[in-house]
């Protein structure tokens, strides 16, 4: 995956990496309800969040993974990107979305069954 390759490039420079303010937005019906206008977005969002987290888990130099915001009701996205929203892992009613459960499963795998993480080689002087 390209994202993991990017993380590995930073790690190969001897850097620690932090994923901060991660979100996955899509087009929505309005800023209040934030119902995706494309029914595939409900499947795409957990897939994209999962890809980011799995890449972070695979690179030992990634020291944190933080999602931006708490619920879609409080998200910065609709106020910044007209017609977009549905960016967090909780909906406007503070209920977990499929992405929440996907990340939970990824973290469980990472804790109890993921392949051994191999550090990215450090540059040699």
The tens place of each residue's pLDDT in the chain, 125 residues long, gives 799 999 999 999 999 999 999 999 999 999 999 999 999 999 999 999 999 999 999 999 999 999 988 899 999 999 999 999 999 999 999 999 999 999 999 998 877 765 566 666 666 66
Sketch the domain layout of the chain as residue ranges. 2-9+24-112
Give the per-residue pLDDT at 44: 97
- Going by the DSSP 8-state scheme, the letter that residue 94 receives in this structure is S
User: Of the candidates 91, 68, 74, which has an alpha carbon nearest to the alpha carbon of residue 22?
Assistant: 68
**β-pair type (84-85, 26-27):** antiparallel
- Phi/psi for 119 (5° steps) reads -60, 145
């Amino acid at each position: 995956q390209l994202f993991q390759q990017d993380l590995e490039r930073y790690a190969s420079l001897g850097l620690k990496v932090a994923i901060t303010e991660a979100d996955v937005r899509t087009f929505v019906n309005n800023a209040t309800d934030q119902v995706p206008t494309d029914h595939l977005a409900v499947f795409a969002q957990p897939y994209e969040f999962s890809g980011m987290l799995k890449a972070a888990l695979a690179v030992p130099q990634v020291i944190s993974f933080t999602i931006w915001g708490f619920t879609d009701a409080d998200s910065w996205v609709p106020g910044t990107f007209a017609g977009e929203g549905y960016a967090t892992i909780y909906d406007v009613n503070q209920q977990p979305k499929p992405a929440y459960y996907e990340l939970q499963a990824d973290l469980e795998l990472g804790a109890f069954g993921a392949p051994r993480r191999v550090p990215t080689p450090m540059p040699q002087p």
